[in-house]
Amino acid sequence: MKALFFNKPGIENLIFGDYELPDMREDEVLVETKCIGVNPIDYYTVTGIHGENGPAMKINPYPHIAGSEISGIVKNKGERVNNTIKEGDRVIIYNRVFDGFCKYCINNHQTLCENGGMIGISRNGGFAEYIIVPQQNIIKISDELDWELASGLPIAGLTAFNAIQESGLKSKDNLVIFGGSGNTGLFCTQFGKIIDAITISLSTKPWIKEYGADYVLPIDENLKEKISEITDGAMADVVINSLGEKTWAKGMEIAGKLGKVITFGVLTGGNLFTDGRLLYNKQITIKGTTGGSVESLLNLIEMAKGQNISTRIWKRYSLEDSRIAIEKVFDKNKEGRIIIENY
Ligand SMILES: NC(=O)c1ccc[n+]([C@@H]2O[C@H](COP(=O)([O-])OP(=O)(O)OC[C@H]3O[C@@H](n4cnc5c(N)ncnc54)[C@H](OP(=O)(O)O)[C@@H]3O)[C@@H](O)[C@H]2O)c1
Ligand SMILES: [Zn+2]
């Protein structure tokens, strides 16, 4: 099959060419890829470093195919695969590798599995014509869900959905989202609106209002004052901030009393300096989240059917050009998601 792969980390080492599919195990499924979302994690995988000054990624196997946010069609399956999975099914792929029996998995925390990993990192990913995955990672979707939205659900959608759920956000709460125009940010905005929160997206991109943001503000020296005006001095009940060390202190400043500050990423570095006085004087809760459970992904798919969730695509690339897609992940002019189509 054709795939984008690398023999050693580095964008310059990416090769688009023939890659031999390994033999499929009895409990595995062969999926023909259709639409693959491109996320920061793919960039980190290809460069081999998890973010600015971050640790080295543990990548397996080599030569390696990255790509963690995948939708496609079932083409074949092993002998022990459940009857509910059939050739021709439209599916998305739950991107966490998990054993299903450790103390975390049995409590619905597959992202924390003791023997876990991630599709696209600890096994081959989706920047290819085909991918083989364990049957437990196959999540069926209906015909109503288009490929573009479907491909955004396993990482960006699920991570945002889980973070909002874990925050305990309620109707009329003040929600502030850093990186509002990003893959996760745009989903957070929409989930905030579904809950009927006052949704404040921090971004330079005014079009986030089309996705339900009540306010779109730049991250500048007036931010605290503007949030205070909007919230009548109460400040944010929930802050979603996965932009890392460069904006962390601002997120703590704009959190209100009993506020929750949630992070699932460290885009600008992992050293999150926290002024302890802000933390205890306002009784703030800081919470880390990562991805979401299989159950949450199923709930999200149900919600995507009924509610008006949408996605915004900035650039579309063919598999052949997927190297350019990865290079564009941190483009300052990014105006929505980057996807790879294999139609
Ligand atoms: N743990 C998990 O399961 C998980 C899952 C998904 C993502 N993540 C992490 O979450 C973070 C966000 O991911 P994403 O996919 O939403 O990223 P993204 O699509 O690249 O969006 C990030 C947004 O942040 C803003 N931004 C970028 N650099 C900035 C800077 N230096 N200062 C201020 N704002 C900046 C930009 O928005 P504006 O131009 O609009 O300001 C950008 O669109 C990443 O660190 C990612 O690795 C973690
Ligand atoms: Zn487990």
What single DSSP character describes residue 66?
-
pLDDT digits (tens, 9 = 90+) for 224-264: 999 999 999 999 999 999 999 999 999 999 999 999 999 99
Q: Are residues 112 and 179 in the same domain?
A: no
**Is 147 inside a domain boundary?**
no
**For ligand 1, what atom is nearest to the CA of residue 219?**
33
**Is 331 inside a domain boundary?**
yes
Q: Are residues 130 and 211 in the same domain?
A: no
Q: What is the count of structural domains for the chain?
A: 2
Length of the chain: 343
The residue type found at 7 is N
Angle between helices 245-254 and 223-230 (to 10 degrees): 40
What residue's CA is closest to ligand 1, atom 34? 179
From start to end of the chain, where are the E strands? 2-6, 14-18, 28-38, 69-77, 90-93, 96-97, 117-118, 130-134, 138-140, 174-178, 198-202, 215-217, 236-240, 255-263, 285-288, 313-318, 337-341
How does DSSP assign 288-335, residue by residue?
E--S--HHHHHHHHHHHHHS-----EEEEEEGGGHHHHHHTTT-TT--
Tokens of 54: 């971050």
Phi, psi dihedral angles at 323 (to 5 degrees): -60, -40
For 81, the 3-state DSSP assignment is coil
Q: Are residues 283 and 317 in the same domain?
A: no
Q: Are residues 252 and 318 in the same domain?
A: no
Q: Are residues 195 and 103 in the same domain?
A: no
Q: Are residues 119 and 210 in the same domain?
A: no
Range of the domain at 14: 2-140+312-341
pLDDT digits (tens, 9 = 90+) for 70-125: 999 999 999 999 999 999 999 999 999 999 999 999 999 999 999 999 999 999 99
Place of tokens 């080295």: 56
pLDDT < 50 stretches in the chain: none
Q: Are residues 7 and 116 in the same domain?
A: yes
Residue to mutate, 219, 242, 289, ligand 1, most ligand atoms under 8 Å from C-beta: 242
The predicted structure's pLDDT at residue 93 = 98
**Is 187 inside a domain boundary?**
yes
Return d(Cα 189, Cα 157) in angstroms, integer. 11
Return d(Cα 324, Cα 46) in angstroms, integer. 12
Q: Residues with Cβ within 6 A of ligand 1?
A: 39-41, 155-156, 159, 179-185, 203-205, 219, 242-243, 246-247, 264-268, 290-291, 334
Q: Are residues 280 and 323 in the same domain?
A: no
**Is 79 inside a domain boundary?**
yes
Q: Are residues 321 and 279 in the same domain?
A: no
The predicted structure's pLDDT at residue 307 = 74
CATH number, domain of 322, equals: 3.90.180.10
For 106, the 3-state DSSP assignment is helix
CATH number, domain of 162, equals: 3.40.50.720
**Is 193 inside a domain boundary?**
yes
**Is 151 inside a domain boundary?**
no
Ligand nearest to the CA of 264: 1
Q: Are residues 66 and 189 in the same domain?
A: no
The predicted structure's pLDDT at residue 53 = 81
Please tell me whether the overall predicted TM-score, pTM, comes out greater than 0.95 for this model: yes
The predicted structure's pLDDT at residue 52 = 80
What residue's CA is closest to ligand 1, atom 36? 179
Return d(Cα 89, Cα 233) in angstroms, integer. 51
Burial group, residue 211, by CB count within 10 angstroms (0-12, 13-18, 19+)? buried
**Is 98 inside a domain boundary?**
yes
The predicted structure's pLDDT at residue 306 = 77
Burial 150-160 (b: 16+ CB within 10 A, else e): bbbbbbbbbbb
Q: How far is the CA of 159 from the centre of ligand 2 (A)?
A: 19
Return d(Cα 127, Cα 143) in angstroms, integer. 23
Q: Are residues 77 and 183 in the same domain?
A: no
What residue's CA is closest to ligand 1, atom 38? 203
Ligand nearest to the CA of 102: 2
The predicted structure's pLDDT at residue 336 = 97
Phi, psi dihedral angles at 4 (to 5 degrees): -100, 115
The predicted structure's pLDDT at residue 205 = 95
List the Cα angle 140/26/129 in 5-degree steps. 55
Tokens of 329: 């992940």
Q: How far is the CA of 148 from the centre of ligand 1 (A)?
A: 19
Return residues with CB closer than 5 A to ligand 2 (ion).
98-99, 102, 105, 113
Q: Are residues 48 and 118 in the same domain?
A: yes
The predicted structure's pLDDT at residue 72 = 98
**Is 82 inside a domain boundary?**
yes
Return d(Cα 299, Cα 189) in angstroms, integer. 18
